[in-house]
Each structure stands twice: as C-alpha cells, then as structure tokens.
Amino acid sequence: MTNAPMIDGTAEFDVPSVDSPHMRIIAEAVAVIDLALSQMVRRELVSSAEVSDLLLDVRNLLGSAGKATH
C-alpha cells in the first residue's frame, strides 16, 4: 500500500486513491506509522514521548474515520 524509499531521512508515500473516506484515513494512518517506523528503526533508543506522539497521531486519524460514519 505504501512505498517508502529512504533518501536522506525522508520517505515518500504512495497512498492509493480510494472512494471510501474510511479507506483514505486508514491509508494515511498506515503512512504515518510507516514513516515513524522508518525513522525509529535507525536508532537504538526511542523516547516514550516519541512513541506517545506516534500513537496519538494514529489515534486522531482513526478517530476521524469513526466520526465520518456518524
């Protein structure tokens, strides 16, 4: 679903165009996770604040998917 070649610490994501707003939000959440993991995997230690920020970003994206259904 995503394509994340690493060039100088940056990643590009190819999020497919989909009709469902839910699928778009899920694709964005996966892109956020992929980017964070690609940055964190290069380090030995990751702070709990960084992990919390990542989880909050994903939660916000997925929460907006839930609001779209109501």
pLDDT band at 8 (very low <50, low <70, confident <90, very high): very low
Separation of alpha carbons 52 and 9, rounded Å:
21
Structural domain contains residue 62: yes
Structural domain contains residue 57: yes
Domain that holds residue 13: 6-68
Structural domain contains residue 23: yes
Structural domain contains residue 1: no
pLDDT band at 66 (very low <50, low <70, confident <90, very high): low
2 vs 70, more confident? 70
pLDDT tens for 29-58 read: 888 889 988 888 888 888 999 999 989 988
CA nearest neighbour of 53 among 67, 68, 43, 39: 39
Q: Which residue intervals of 1-70 are DSSP H helices? A: 21-40, 48-68
Q: What is the total count of domains within the chain? A: 1
